[in-house]
Copies of this chain bind each other. A is one copy, B any other.
Amino acid sequence: MNSERNRVTISDVAKASGVSNSAVSYALNGKAGVSSDTRQQVLAVAQRMGWRPNSAAKALSDAATHSVGMILTYAMSVLSVESYTTELMAGLTAELERKGYSLLIRSSSSHEYELTVLQEWIASGAVDAVLVLNVELNDPRISLLQSQHRIPALALCNPMFSQGLPSLSSNESDAAHLIIDYLHELGHTRIARVAGPERLGHTFIRDNAFMEEAAALGLQYSCLHADYSPEDGLRCTKRLLSLPHAPTAIVYDNDVMALSALKASNDMGIAVPEALSIVSWDDSFMCEVSVPSITALNRNVVGTGRLAAQLILQLIEGKDVDSVSETDNELVFRESSGPVHK
């Protein structure tokens, strides 16, 4: 199976330099054990021959692959529409790059299969660490990762779901308060929310925060759970707007659903923001450019990716990492929201 071409190895460099194998290794790794002259000599030769360490050999020797694993487990239909993942990856890869790490991606169509991949990674050492996305309540991935100590893992979720695993979360309840207080100040008394899947950890947090704050302010609050897809967003919106006492403001857990809400209200002849205020939990280009533009929570997902990468690199170095919470929520006011007209 070994039909490889002329790859330059350390032995080749050693031979060409007329020194031993280990001398070359020391020289190339900047370690003591060789004279300055020899080192210069070896470096020059290695450079000339175009030597680079073979990644597999290095991985075997170091027991480290210099890659971080991540599994994409979205339904195809939702994935193609998600900007969150792209932005996260941009931040992740940019930061990992600085230390010469790569992101190793696998995709999976089911949760069971994702567990299989994780188990394989744990057993095979294919990655040095793992990032877990979209954590659910009693997520078996968390249990699995928490029960082993071969591969460190960072969970992108509230620490209450990470079972002691280091986690990075955005302050969802802070954001919820920000949004609901804003709507309250505008005079809305009947508000609704089209949330993400109920089993998701961050949906749980948001649900709680919304219910609490709504109750505290004496608001009428109703919530439907959807799957983040435009179709589901449309369906939920129409259902809410058909209620006898329809809400005057609806909050959407992602931008895609918020956008289809615009379509829905347009279809039903309901004016935005005069008769209905719309707020999206995710900001994106789509919110900016839609007509009307959509008031949205800005979350700097790229920054989250960068931070996640930093934490993961610390974990790989063996450092202890506490659960971190980001609180850079900011509401961007646009045309889709306004005071209640009665």
- Min CB distance, A228 to chain B, in Å? 11
The CA of A98 and the CA of B263, in the complex, are separated in Å by 38
Interchain CB contact under 8 A, A108 and B97: yes
Q: Is A106 an interface residue (CB 8 A)?
A: yes
Q: Give chain B residues whose Cβ lies under 8 Å from the Cβ of A54.
A: 60, 124-125
Q: Does A63 contact B (CB under 8 A)?
A: yes
Given contacts A76-B302, A80-B83, A90-B72, contact A52 B285 (CB under 8 A): no
Selecting from A153-161, A162-170, A201-209, A286-294, the interface stretch reads: A286-294
Size bin of chain A's contact surface:
35 or more
Residues of B within 8 A of A260 (CB): 289
Q: In this assembly, does A259 line the interface, its C-beta being within 8 Å of a C-beta of chain B?
A: yes
Residue on B nearest A266 in the bound complex, by CB: B291
Within the complex, what minimum Cβ distance (angstroms) separates A148 from chain B?
8
A150 touches B302 (CB 8 A): no
Residue contacts A-B, CB under 8 angstroms, 23 given: A4-B125, A7-B123, A7-B125, A51-B123, A52-B120, A52-B124, A54-B125, A72-B93, A76-B94, A76-B302, A81-B83, A82-B86, A83-B83, A90-B107, A93-B107, A94-B107, A94-B109, A102-B105, A103-B105, A230-B285, A230-B289, A262-B289, A266-B291
